[in-house]
């Protein structure tokens, strides 16, 4: 009797696992056709690099097939790289916050920039981005960048703010929204208190500044949509915002303007890397080269994407659009780019931010 029950249990478990395998549709399903070479990409969902038209064009041009798997966080990408067997991942998309860790652990292959036609067309800043380089060797190629700075309502605020201090300015009291994100909060407050945003020393000054700022807010926002609703209903007139979304809202007809102020703001960069176990290096290079090509970068940028690293692409943009979306060179040079942080620093910063949020 016991044996039969054990068998039943086993059968039940098998049914569940079969059911869990099929039936649920992943949005990454691609047709399995024949012997085509496959390129395994770890990607963000609904990102330009995962666009159906691009995939079709690339597959056509190289007679291959792109297989996307998606990550939901940078941490997850690290886990995937650590546990993947040879050949399971070819290309991946780390940002600067995890890149040094990935390189340090030997999860990425060295990149030979001479195999990339478009490498030389990048802004100099990106050709020698410190996070991509270890011991003088290149391990990753910058892809796109963006910023988190100030957006304001042009109907309600006539004069463009020139300093990041605007987010801390009592004249906008009750009409400001600040982002609920420990990293953005600490970095911005560091900029305002005149410190190195990536290595602030005086954490007490930052805490004091953020506590002072807290009283001026309508609310903190967490997701892009919260901001757009607060903005559209005029509950706020100024706030911390991402470049990409501000540009999108402007296209939608909102009276919004985006500025990267003279005293700086926060920037981020996404990069491409080739996984240690890749068996498909040639195709991987072609993929990355396509990603940083003028045409791809230009098309994505004008369709609400982030800013291009390719200088030709950036130069082809309508200057007014570029400036309005914080994609121009002036904005680029004002940014402090987010760097890799150890777990300890993350915990300290997060704790400081939790304390600010929990105090009355």
Partner 1 sequence: MKNGALSKLYILGILLFLYTPIFVLMLMSFNESRYNTLPFVFSLKWYEALKDNTTLMTAMNNSLYIAFVTGICCVILGTLFVLGSQVISGKWKGLFSSMMVMPLSIPWLIMGLSLLLMIRAFQMDKNMFFVFAGHIIISLPYSVLVLQARIQALDSALDEASASLGANALTTFRRITLPMLAPAMVAGGFLSFMMSFDNFVISYFLIPAGITTLPIEIQSSIKFGFTPEINAVSTLIIGISLVCLAVVGAIMGSSLKSIFNGGKA
Partner 2 sequence: MNNYKKWLTAPGTLTLLVFAVAPLFIMLFYSFRNDSGVGFTLQNYVRFFEKSFYLKLTGRTVISSLTVTVISLLISYPLAYIMAKKLKGIRNIVLMLIIIPFFTNQLVRVYSWLIFLQDGGVLEEMLNVLGMAQDGLGILYTRTAVVISLVHIFFPYMVITIYIALERIDNALLEASKSLGASAVTTFFRVTLPMSWSGVVSGILLVFVPCLGCFVEPRILGGVDGMFIGNVIEDQFFEIYGWNFGAAIAFLLFAMVLVAMALIHRMGGEKQ
Span of 116-124, 135-143, 217-225, 237-245 interacting with partner 2 by CB under 8 A: 217-225
Return the number of the residue (3 or 33) whose C-beta is nearest partner 2.
3
Provide the 10 A C-beta neighbour count for residue 26: 10
**Angstrom distance (rounded) from CA 342 to CA 139:** 20
Q: Which of 32, 83, 114, 358 binds partner 1 (CB under 8 A)?
A: 83
Percentages helix, strand, coil for the chain (3-state, rounded to 5) are 45, 20, 35
Tokens coding 138: 């290149």
Span of 32-40, 153-161, 278-286, 344-352 interacting with partner 2 by CB under 8 A: 344-352
CB of 45 to partner 1, least distance (A): 6
List the single partner that 359 binds among partner 2, partner 1, none, CB under 5 to 8 Å by kind. partner 2
Per-residue DSSP letters for 290-322?
A: HHTSHHHHHHHHHTT--EESBHHHHHHS-HHHH
**Angstrom distance (rounded) from CA 304 to CA 253:** 14
Query: Which residue in 141, 90, 85, 174 sits closest to 293, CA to CA?
Result: 141
Q: Which of 51, 88, 226, 315 binds partner 2 (CB under 8 A)?
A: 226
Q: Which of 112, 202, 234, 295 binds partner 2 (CB under 8 A)?
A: 234
Return the number of the residue (21 or 34) whose C-beta is nearest partner 1.
21
**Angstrom distance (rounded) from CA 229 to CA 226:** 5
Return the number of the residue (174 or 194) whose C-beta is nearest partner 2.
174
Query: Which residue in 94, 74, 129 sits closest to 271, CA to CA?
Result: 94
Q: Which of 82, 137, 201, 229 binds partner 2 (CB under 8 A)?
A: 229
**Angstrom distance (rounded) from CA 225 to CA 229:** 6
Q: Which of 30, 62, 69, 193 binds partner 1 (CB under 8 A)?
A: 69
Residues 112-171 close enough to bind partner 1 by CB under 8 A:
none
Q: List the x/- string, 15-44, binding to partner 1 by CB under 8 A.
A: -xx-xxx-xxxxxx----------------
């Amino acid at each position: 009797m016991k044996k039969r029950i054990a068998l039943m249990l086993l059968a039940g478990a098998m049914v569940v696992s079969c059911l869990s395998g099929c039936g649920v549709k992943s949005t990454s399903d691609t047709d399995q056709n024949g012997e085509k070479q496959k390129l395994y990409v770890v990607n963000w969902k609904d990102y330009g690099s995962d666009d159906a038209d691009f995939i079709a064009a690339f597959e056509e041009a190289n007679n291959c097939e792109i297989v996307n798997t998606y990550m939901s966080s940078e941490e997850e990408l690290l886990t995937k790289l650590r546990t993947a067997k040879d050949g399971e991942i070819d290309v991946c998309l780390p940002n600067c916050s995890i890149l040094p860790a990935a390189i340090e652990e030997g999860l990425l292959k060295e990149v030979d920039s001479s195999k990339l036609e478009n490498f030389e067309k990048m802004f100099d800043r990106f050709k020698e981005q410190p996070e991509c380089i270890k011991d003088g060797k290149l391990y990753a190629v910058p892809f796109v960048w963006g910023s988190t700075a100030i957006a304001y309502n042009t109907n309600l605020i006539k004069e463009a703010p020139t300093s990041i201090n605007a987010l801390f300015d009592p004249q906008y009291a009750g009409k400001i929204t600040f982002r609920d994100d420990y990293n953005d909060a600490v970095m911005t407050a560091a900029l305002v208190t005149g410190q190195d945003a990536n290595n602030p020393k005086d954490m007490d000054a930052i805490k004091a500044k953020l506590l002072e700022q807290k009283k001026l807010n309508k609310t903190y926002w967490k997701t892009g949509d919260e901001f757009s609703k607060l903005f559209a209903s005029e509950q706020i007139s100024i706030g911390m915002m991402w470049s990409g979304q501000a540009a999108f809202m402007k296209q939608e007809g909102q009276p919004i303007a985006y500025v990267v102020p003279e005293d700086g703001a926060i920037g981020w960069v996404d990069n491409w890397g080739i996984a240690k176990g890749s068996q498909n290096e040639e195709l991987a290079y072609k993929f990355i080269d396509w990603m940083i090509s003028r045409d791809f970068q230009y098309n994505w940028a004008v369709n609400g994407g982030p800013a291009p690293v390719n200088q030709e692409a950036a130069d082809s943009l309508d200057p007014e659009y570029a400036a309005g979306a914080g994609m121009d060179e002036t904005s680029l040079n004002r940014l402090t780019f987010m760097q890799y942080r150890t777990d300890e620093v993350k915990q300290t910063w997060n704790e400081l931010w939790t304390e600010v949020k929990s105090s009355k």
